């Protein structure tokens, strides 16, 4: 797999260094280098870019702002690796779903480590988006993946869907509770974003703070359900869809 990359930095020496690192890495292809985020944004909209090596402190539009613009885009967005001299942006970089964070000055070994992480991510993403073949399945039938790839810190963790008990939303984070572990997996993402990735036949949002695995429900009352030892209330706005689910079994 070859990854198309763009380097963005308003410092000519730093930009040249990142560009040279990209060019000497066999699985990376330099698709452009820019001194401003605005110029990079135009290039991203005109071609498919897999990885964006992005400085943060820049005039007009800084790296964090560009990342937010791309995060709101409905089209395929590149994965971002920040390159900056300021470590105070690390948390903010994580919040905009950056793949990695290179602190200047960095050498080629550190760059290559981040590049390999990008390659592994893109390979996993390509694999997860490739539908399995099934001779008995109709052409229009959606074949659902059995795994969810969830970002935990700066790593992708593969989680089996049948291992998920329920998912709890906590402001900027989600807790994924598993039957195979006592402690939940914590990921900086939204419950809404995670809801869109889960197959609706197997998972349902029953509360603004909870998504449950339907086959893990142990018991149900009028306004709540139980999974293991936890009771989860069904929110008012989700009662109709939950009642429709119940009507198939009661």
Question: Do 115 and 7 sit in the same domain of this protein?
Answer: yes
Question: Do 52 and 9 sit in the same domain of this protein?
Answer: yes
For residue 137, being part of any structural domain is answered with no
Q: What is the pLDDT of residue 248?
A: 60
Question: Do 17 and 113 sit in the same domain of this protein?
Answer: yes
Question: Do 72 and 187 sit in the same domain of this protein?
Answer: no
Question: Do 92 and 189 sit in the same domain of this protein?
Answer: no
Question: Do 46 and 85 sit in the same domain of this protein?
Answer: yes
Please say if the pLDDT value at position 130 is more than 50.
yes
Question: Do 97 and 158 sit in the same domain of this protein?
Answer: no
For residue 120, being part of any structural domain is answered with yes
How does residue 95 score in pLDDT terms, banded at 50, 70 and 90?
Answer: low
Residues 209, 216: Cα–Cα separation, whole Å? 17
Q: What is the pLDDT of residue 154?
A: 65
Smallest CA-to-CA distance from 157 within 165, 169, 149 is with 149
For residue 67, being part of any structural domain is answered with yes
Q: What percent of the chain has pLDDT over 90?
A: 32
DSSP-derived 3-state class of residue 124: helix
Q: Specify the pTM.
A: 0.56
Domain that includes residue 197, residue range: 147-247
How does residue 117 score in pLDDT terms, banded at 50, 70 and 90?
Answer: confident
Question: Do 42 and 120 sit in the same domain of this protein?
Answer: yes
How does residue 92 score in pLDDT terms, banded at 50, 70 and 90?
Answer: low
Most confident of 8-22, 64-78, 178-192: 8-22
CB 207 within 8 A of CB 218: no
Residues 36, 6: Cα–Cα separation, whole Å? 12
Question: Do 179 and 208 sit in the same domain of this protein?
Answer: yes
Q: What is the 3-state secondary structure (H, E, C) of 51-109?
A: EEEECCCCCCCCHHHHHHHHHCCCCCCCEEEEEECCHHHHHHHHHCCCCEEEECCCCHH
Question: Do 28 and 78 sit in the same domain of this protein?
Answer: yes
In the chain, the number of structural domains is 2
Residues 143, 76: Cα–Cα separation, whole Å? 21
Q: What is the pLDDT of residue 129?
A: 57
Question: Do 15 and 124 sit in the same domain of this protein?
Answer: yes
How does residue 208 score in pLDDT terms, banded at 50, 70 and 90?
Answer: very high
Q: What is the pLDDT of residue 249?
A: 56
For residue 110, being part of any structural domain is answered with yes
Q: What is the pLDDT of residue 204?
A: 92
DSSP 148: E
For residue 28, being part of any structural domain is answered with yes
| Among candidate residues 77, 100, 129, the one where a domain is terminated | 129
DSSP 18: H
Q: What is the arithmetic mean of pLDDT over 79-107?
A: 74
For residue 140, being part of any structural domain is answered with no
For residue 194, being part of any structural domain is answered with yes
| Among candidate residues 59, 94, 129, the one where a domain is terminated | 129
For residue 124, being part of any structural domain is answered with yes
Question: Do 123 and 153 sit in the same domain of this protein?
Answer: no
List the CATH number of the domain containing 73.
3.40.50.2300
CB 84 within 8 A of CB 104: yes
List the CATH number of the domain containing 155.
2.40.50.1020
Question: What does each C-alpha distance from 218 to 42, 95, 112, 221, 242 come to in angstroms?
Answer: 52, 35, 48, 11, 15
User: Per-residue pLDDT tens for 183-202?
Assistant: 999 988 888 888 888 888 88
Q: What is the arithmetic mean of pLDDT over 69-83?
A: 77
Please say if the pLDDT value at position 137 is more than 50.
no
Q: What is the arithmetic mean of pLDDT over 17-40?
A: 93
Which residues does 105 contact at the CB level (< 8 Å), separation at least 6? Answer: 85
Looking at the DSSP bridge assignments, the partners of residue 6 are: 32, 52
Q: What is the pLDDT of residue 229?
A: 86
């Amino acid at each position: 797999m070859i990854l198309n990359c763009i380097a963005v930095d308003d410092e000519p020496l730093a930009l040249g260094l990142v560009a040279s690192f990209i060019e000497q890495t066999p699985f990376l292809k330099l698709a452009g280098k820019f001194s401003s985020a605005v110029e990079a944004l135009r290039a991203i909209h005109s071609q498919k870019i897999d990885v964006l090596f992005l400085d943060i402190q820049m005039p007009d539009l800084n790296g964090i702002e560009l990342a937010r613009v791309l995060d709101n885009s409905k089209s395929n967005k590149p994965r971002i690796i920040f390159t900056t001299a300021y470590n105070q942006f690390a948390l903010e970089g994580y919040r905009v779903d950056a793949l990695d964070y290179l602190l200047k000055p960095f050498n080629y070994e550190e760059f290559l480590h981040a590049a390999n992480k990008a390659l592994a991510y893109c390979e996993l993403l390509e694999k997860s988006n490739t539908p399995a073949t099934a001779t008995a399945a109709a052409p229009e039938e959606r074949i659902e993946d059995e795994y969810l790839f969830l970002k935990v810190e700066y790593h992708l963790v593969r989680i089996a869907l049948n291992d998920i008990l329920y998912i709890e939303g906590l402001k900027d984070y989600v807790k994924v509770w598993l039957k195979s572990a006592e402690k939940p997996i914590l990921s900086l993402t939204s419950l809404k974003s995670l809801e869109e990735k889960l197959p609706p036949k197997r998972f349902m949002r029953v509360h603004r703070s909870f998504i449950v695995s339907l086959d893990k429900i142990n018991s149900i009352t009028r306004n709540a359900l139980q999974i293991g030892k936890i009771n989860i209330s069904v929110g008012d706005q989700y009662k109709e869809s939950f009642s429709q689910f119940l009507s198939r079994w009661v």
